[in-house]
Chains A and B, each alone.
Chain A
Amino acid sequence: MIDVLIIGSGGAGLTAALSAKDVGASVLVVGKAYPTNSQTSMAQGGINAALSNAGDDTVDAHIADTIKSARGLCDEEMVQTMCSDAPHAIAWLDSIGVPFSRVETEEIGIKTVAQRQMGGASAKRACYAQDYTGLKILHTLYDTCLKHGIDFLDEHYLMSLVVENGCVKGATFLDIRTGELKQIDAKSVIIATGGYGGLYHNYTTNMTGATGDGIAAVLRAGGAVSDMEFVQFHPTALKKSSILISESARGEGGYLVNSKNERFTDELGPRDVVARAIFEQFKQAQEVFLDVRHLGEGKLMELLPQEVALCKLHENVDPAKELIPIKPVAHYSMGGIDVNHTMEVDGIKGCFAVGECSNAKVHGANRLGGNSLLEITAFGKRAGENAFKYASSTSVQKATDAQLQQDKTYLENLYAQTPTVNFYDKREVLGKLFYEKVGIVRNNASLNEALDYINDTQEAIATMGIEDKSKTNNTNLTDFLEFANTILLSSTVVSAAIARDESRGAHYKEEFTQVDDEKFKNHIVFQWKKERA
């Protein structure tokens, strides 16, 4: 039996795989696509570590900035662990060959790594590799996994965790190519399946597959999820396509203007504040644009070539001559699978979670730029080590195939069902509804409308289903399974948002614009079994 089964092959999963293998575990990494296709590739800005390569910095300052940004909702011990681990994480990434940007220096090793300023940081702390930090870390991790002979199983879609008596015993997967369902037994499981930005379909910078599959699986298996109401919105995405225009466009001197060509906010404020200022303009029937024309074509092509190309392609706009229409969209999910200090899932023994899918409580109500790549590296290592520790100290009996049979029946019914409602339409509607009613600025009336809609959709799901009845390579099927996951998670996001009658970080409620520590300095947790009991 495999010691450590890792579900998800982004940066968190690959780091966990390498660390588990390093301590002697047998490892299998299973993903719904190929390893380098993951969301990690989209991270641009950097990875935080107090290295003092570009001015003075300390681990304590990194900790303080992270806690401040979390607005009282983080676990300070976890923050301390992550920030103290950061220099080691960079040293490790450097040792496996990550092509970081560098500074001119006589020094060696991590002292040569270039660092830059990110929002909310008191020092130049983000190590980067041009504007492709996530991409280059991800690909180097993948190369290193090949070096160490890590086994991969690609194009396998997670159906369910196999849990017996509160202990994880593996997971079931749909082999997307063959259409077969299979159970993979394991002594321990690490979930590294990414966030739930996909809930905001068409209104998120995330890839379409960011549907929180692992989070939904944990919820169904009796584990806990927490802080689901905290979703970070990025102020500048292209209006039509929701493609991210990097913060560096404003960092380099870009303005935000409305339809009257007036500036209305400090462009370099925290993400949640700028996003709300833009939303306020929308409410006054203003459009909002990013204006970088004054930088000139030469400078634009030198500083922001990717951004210029994306604007021309997706918005048919030339940033050197025209205003860029933008809107804030969902960017990062702070909430997720509730884990303890060893990264073990609350409610499922032997099951660990790491990365955006998890809530290790380091981001709290608002994530600091550059801390998510750090989280996947620092905590990925811990998850790998702790999973193997668990696997070696526990005698796990092979599970029955009850879960597999249950999943088989579910799929057979799905194939037999003739849909009368197109779920793709519902996915569009849900994305828009979430953006408008569970978005940047919330109020209880709108949230309750959203909850009603979700409940109706949940009931109507029996009328939806798959039109494509092919057994093999059925992406209509995986799209539907992903959609079902977003429906499940959407009710936790809305319910938590309704319960939180205050404003804190990314969660802003019109009727309660202040932080209310007395009532709400705590985490809202959902767990099916506990609710039933």
Chain B
Amino acid sequence: MTLTILRSETNSHETYTIKSTKTTLLHALTDIKETQDATLTFTAGCRASVCGTCAVRVNGKEELACAYKLQDGDVVEPLNYHPVLRDLKVDKNKAKETLLQSTAWLHSATEASPTPKDEKFTERQTDCILCDSCYSACPVYAVNPEFLGPFALTRAYRYSVDKREKGVKEILDSVQSNGVWDCTLCGECTLACPKGIDPKMDIMMLRGLSVQEGYNDPSYATQSFGSPNFDFDPNF
């Protein structure tokens, strides 16, 4: 079976042959590093889809290397919109800053009585492993590198609907600029998420909460729909 990997030092694709079939991509990468090419660089951890370390793109689509079953001829590349440090290893610091900017945490907690229904309401959102797959899949980054992005907004939403949270407005304040209104609702993040999270829906929900809080979609203020003339006609 062959596997092609984008190598950063030469900025070219290199093809490797591996013996085993029915293997995960992570297993194949490890095998190459151990037996063929010690310079091949990637990151990985738990092997069980919870540590969020090993996300890459396979044939253009984001996958966890540990949870992807290798197919002959697959092309493996690093995540999009992350500075490549070496081969498949990327710098996640800028992506992680979106968490800080969106203030995705409990602002002022109060003792509450969350129910099983409340738990279910954001169960999926709290399954997030911060693998950055959604960030890599988001086309907004091609035009706006400062966008808060899917995982940070999903997390902001999760805290904003937490019964223990009394500082919802502070969270909503933080996700207006380069935030909820900058999303194009294309849904690529939802397709990319290995945990089945739906950031697009969470962003729509955050928009709803923002409107309740008095915010508007800023694009309406600047968009031009032509100038309908509703001048008062005294003779009418």
Contact = CB atoms under 8 A, between A and B. Distances in A.
A144 interface: yes
A135 interface: yes
A41 interface: yes
Interface in B127-141: 127-130
B204 interface: no
Contacts of A135: 50, 127, 129
Interface string B179-202: 000000000000000000000000
Contact of B126 (A36, A41, A99, A473): A99
Nearest to A114: B116
Interface string A26-37: 000000011011
Contacts of A41: 46, 50-52, 129
A143 B45 contact: no
B50 A132 contact: yes
B96 A107 contact: no
Interface in A306-323: 310, 313-314, 316
Given A108-B112, A422-B34, A36 B103 contact: no
A37 B106 CA distance: 22
Given A99-B123, A143-B155, A207-B51, A424 B89 contact: no
A33 B45 contact: yes
Interface in A81-114: 94-97, 99-109, 112, 114
A243 B47 contact: yes
A405 interface: no
B58 to A, nearest CB: 14
Interface size on B, as a range, is 35 or more
Nearest to A94: B164
Contacts of A96: 105-106, 109
Interface of B is mostly: loop
Contact of A476 (B38, B91, B123): B38
A42 B126 contact: no
B39 interface: yes
Interface in A134-157: 135-136, 139, 143-144, 146-147, 154
Contact of B67 (A34, A136, A313): A313
A468 interface: yes
A94 B112 CA distance: 10
A102 B45 contact: no
A22 interface: no
A105 B51 contact: no
B10 interface: no
Given A105-B113, A139-B126, A146-B105, A38 B100 contact: no
Interface in B38-96: 38-39, 41-48, 50-53, 67, 69, 85-86, 89, 91-93, 96
A149 to B, nearest CB: 9
B51 to A, nearest CB: 5
A394 interface: no
B98 to A, nearest CB: 11
B38 A467 contact: yes
B111 A468 contact: no
Given A100-B119, A143-B104, A34 B114 contact: no
Contacts of A468: 38-39
B115 interface: yes
Nearest to B91: A177
B42 A475 contact: yes
B13 to A, nearest CB: 19
Contacts of B111: 95, 108-109
Given A109-B111, A243-B47, A316-B22, A139 B128 contact: yes
Contacts of B86: 470, 472-473
A129 B46 CA distance: 19
Contacts of B93: 154
Contact of B69 (A101, A106, A243, A313): A313
B48 A243 contact: yes
B159 interface: yes
A97 B163 CA distance: 10
A40 B187 CA distance: 31
A129 B116 contact: no
Nearest to B22: A316
A374 B113 CA distance: 23
A244 interface: yes
Interface string B24-44: 100000000111001101111
Interface of A: 33-34, 36-39, 41-42, 94-97, 99-109, 112, 114, 129-130, 132, 135-136, 139, 143-144, 146-147, 154, 177, 207-209, 241, 243-244, 310, 313-314, 316, 422, 424-425, 466-468, 470, 472-476
25 contacts: A34-B96, A34-B130, A37-B53, A95-B109, A96-B105, A97-B159, A99-B119, A102-B116, A106-B113, A109-B111, A114-B116, A135-B129, A136-B126, A139-B130, A143-B105, A143-B159, A146-B105, A177-B91, A313-B24, A422-B35, A470-B86, A474-B41, A475-B41, A475-B42, A476-B38
Given A106-B113, A243-B47, 16 more contacts: A37-B52, A42-B46, A97-B109, A101-B119, A102-B119, A105-B113, A108-B113, A146-B104, A208-B47, A316-B22, A422-B35, A472-B85, A473-B85, A473-B89, A474-B41, A475-B41
